[in-house]
Structure 1
Amino acid sequence: MKQPFPKYAFFNNELYVSVKTIEPVPTTGRDAAIVCRRASGNAAEAEERYVEQRLWLEAASAVNETARSRGLVTSQSPAHEKIALFRSLFKGRPDVHAHGFRRKDGGIGYVPACENEWKRGVCPRVENAHTKCSLCEKQAFAPLTDSTIISHFKGLDDRFRDVFGLYVLNEDSTTSLLVMDFDEGEWQDAARAVREAAKSHGLQASVERSRSGNGCHIWFFFECPVSAKLARDFGSALISEAMAHAKSVGFDAYDRMFPAQTTIPEGGFGNLIAAPFQGRAQRRGNSVFVDEQLRPYPDQWLFLSKVGKLSEEAARAVVDSHAGAPLGSLQDEHGVPWKGRAEKPLSRESFTGFLDIVESDMIYVPESALSAEAANAVKRAAAFAN
């Protein structure tokens, strides 16, 4: 069986990816040339270089060993290295995960993966489909195995039972990650705004195009589990900053954050988030991570191996820096929702033109006359802490 041509090679301590092969003129007797570019950075802007095929093959022969020594994983890395990387980032509650199923309407639903699921005489859902798995005396939750992850990557089950999700809220109300969910609306602009807000704090936001392709998940990974409250406060601060600088970040695009609660709800596990890289969606260009232009990274594994994790101190710094920001709070010091106000009042410069407010079945304020700061103030005046 013919071996695939090696995609990566290291030169001068830099990882390069092959772009194409230029065959020589037969009469010259020269070796073929490999056109390559640096694997990191923006592919569209990367400078292309030429390497003799012989030198490329020599450098590529030890690429896996070199990549492993530098903590890099690529699409050519062994499967066990990819799975280990995946597990190191996408950490949910360790004792239970969810698997999908096809709903009657054709959509996807999720239930906890249980060894006793649908066993007659054992699983109470056989008699009552509305039984809560979290309260079941016969529960025997299945572990998240490597084969489960691989099946998720392949995405071959028409019933969606090979899709899995993570319960991100641990029993002690901590979490190892935070995910922002943006759907419909101007989710593309929202993703860019949140990414820029994170970058302003020296942090990385990892943007995954959702399974449907009509939204995105923005992932943040913590070095160690942090309290769910801190994670959610951190996410709220970034979203508020994004809303202050981009009018397109509105309530129609922003859906929710995961974890969706700060403590474990009684009789449940908290909300779950579907894991990325679902095979069926990947084949449509979805459920993958995208760059600033919302284009899938050429090598998803190389991207993940370079993702930076947040420390608890970094998350707290973002929350603390937001405490006295001009966006203000959604409530006053006594917890009254409708009395929250901005620390810095709006000025004439906050409006780009004449503001014509229309009172009808609702109050209508045209966005065209509002700066991003003023638009955010209006949104916050119409919202309250829930």
Structure 2
Amino acid sequence: MSAVMISKKAASRRWEKLPGKNTFCCDGRVMMARQKGVFYLTLFLIVGTCALFFAFECPYLALHLSPAIPVFAILLFLFVMAMLLRTSFSDPGVLPRALPEEATFIEMEIEAANANVPAGQRPPPRIRNVQINSQIVKLKYCYTCKIFRPPRASHCSICDNCVDRFDHHCPWVGNCVGKRNYRYFYLFTLSLSLLTIYIFAFDIVHVVLRSVDSGFVNTLKETPGTVLEVLVCFFTLWSVVGLTGFHTYLISLNQTTNEDIKGSWSGKNRVQNPYSHKNIIKNCCEVLCGPAYPSVLDRRGLMVEELPTSASLDGPTASSSSSKNSIAAAQSTKTTAPLIPNEHTPEDVKPGIAASLEKSHTSEEERMPTPLNTPCKSPTQDRGPSSPKEKVQKL
């Protein structure tokens, strides 16, 4: 029995090998954080509140006021859900980590730069300076991803990834908010604020209209769903509207939540924001109407890996393999056999046969008497008759 190592190629998607704390679904098309409990709560609140509104208020309002009220509510609800799913299921702008060769090269560069540091002193922080709009911006080194992060990028501790133009990690959407999904996040908060105000306003209208006929207390008893909607919308309204107003302020300055919390452009140094155009309209157009950036992860790309596997050979398989090995060894050695089947080999291959033929021919000539007047023949001339009949005639 013998074992043979066989390399077997296996293809897999890149999202299966990506580091970080993310969850992938639908063959890598959906990318979210692992902590999705608050996201499910968001879905439940939005869908549940709208379902109560469509079930209790919309039939009465469509009959007594206008049928356009439920139609507009449905369109607004669909837009909110589309923006929420687009924000939650997309790549926020995750930066790929450095390959082992790239990480080694960067470490060598850093060590060469810190070679002049005296012994016992701490080396300087790993920072690179770049100039953006006549302003020096520092690029910090990420010890997890082994890269110098681009401007405005930061490492998310929850997802364990560096995100380009990192704004914040939002548990309500179950994902990071960054360069690729920030506009959808803002449109989600804006449309959700409008939907909350819309439902809250028409809940009040519905209670007022029914109170005219049956009284306020009886109306509350008859419509418990409306009371629940009013309470949910009242407590949700302040947070959602306040969040939308805060991000409107950040967009007008072309600033992120992470930069605002750290005071990157409003600290003691009073460093100006190099990304701001000093114009609210231009800043809003750049953030909300700029180009859509493609993902740099290539989540659904194929990766080919060689997996070594051992196979044991015994019985006929082993004999066949040994015969193949002997054939290969015979072919690898130098042979003296002729390449063409009908071609004779040189005399040095068969010395016994050639010597015996020549000896018999010489002894036959010695037995034959040579006439005195016959000149001697050279070896190159005819050595004698080729047939017995000719020999007799000469004798």
Please, what TM-score do these two structures have when normalized by structure 2?
0.19
Larger RCO: 1 or 2 (CA < 8 Å, sep 6+): 2
Whichever of the two has the greater Rg, that structure is: 2
* Higher strand residue share: 1
Give the number of the structure whose residues are more often helix, by fraction. 2
Give TM-score, length-normalised by structure 1: 0.19
